[in-house]
Copies of this chain bind each other. A is one copy, B any other.
Amino acid sequence: MLDVCLLGTGGTMPLPRRWLTALVTRFNGHSLLIDCGEGTQIAMKEAGISPNPIDVICFTHFHADHISGLPGLLLSMGNADRTDPVTLIGPRGLVRVVTALRSIAQELPFEVRMVEIEDRTQEFDLFGYRIQAFRVNHNVTCYGYSLSIPRAGRFDADAARRQEIPLKAWNRLQKGERVEMDGRVYRPEMVMGPARRGIKLTYCTDSRPTPAISDAAAGADLFICEGMYGDPEDAGKARKKKHMTFAEAAALAREAKAEELWLTHFSPSLVGAARYMDQVTEIFPNASLGWDGRSCTLDFPEE
């Protein structure tokens, strides 16, 4: 199962009682953070989540509201005596920007690894997460991320017995390994059913709507998407500033056939967001507003 916490829901600048948009997930002892604006480390502590086990930080882009909290977060992880390396993933320019920001976070007791995304879509397998970065459409190079937890097929014990596979090979076959034993070779596909549906979470901020987003979010259990503006009258502003309205995000969720949509990355000027939700749920019924610290646990579906 995947623990999900939307740390903040603000865009552009942090406000009292509204942290900047960022997401943290926990899976199997490994935490992953997407974006880290000013105050994200405080939002984590408020949510009761330690920054220390963060193994991967993905950046959508390098506007300050998505990365300015990085030096402080790294230093806090260092103060908590972390020694394991941290992997940063982001658009081209990551090394330049992070190196510049580290002018105030020079001494860390762990290695900072950096991976720049080269293609329009790119996959990374880290700590049990399948991370798919997909290019979106903002006024600078910007990516969304789908996080998937793949799930192997069901183990068929009858088939294993039928094929006289020794018991001591079963566990390794379940883990997907090929096993040689007593002169025979056993392959996982001899005993494992087809891969089952895993968990999928898609996160996208700072973009105009594009098919790349609904493609990436296809069938997601949870789609967290920016909605900079609630008022349909702000559609022109959204186009100009390369952001979305709530309704545009809802249309993407419908197109993607996602299970659920949380809206986030609200304009500092947005107040009374709830009054726009009737129109939004007409487009995509399972849409709701995010809030700072909103959490859920995504489980593998029962079969």
Contacts and interface: CB of A to CB of B under 8 A. Distances in A.
Interface of A: 12-16, 37-39, 41-42, 45-46, 62-65, 67-69, 71-72, 75-76, 79, 96-97, 100-101, 103-105
B38 A16 contact: no
State the majority secondary structure of interface residues on A.
helix
A65 B65 CA distance: 17
B68 A15 contact: no
A270 B273 CA distance: 39
B38 A15 contact: no
A45 B19 CA distance: 13
A39 B14 CA distance: 8
B64 A72 contact: yes
A13 B38 CA distance: 12
B68 A42 contact: no
A261 to B, nearest CB: 28
Contacts of A104: 62-64, 67-68, 97, 100-101
B16 A42 contact: yes
A32 to B, nearest CB: 21
15 contacts: A13-B41, A15-B45, A16-B45, A38-B38, A38-B39, A38-B42, A38-B69, A38-B72, A39-B39, A39-B42, A62-B104, A64-B72, A64-B75, A65-B72, A68-B104
Nearest to A93: B103
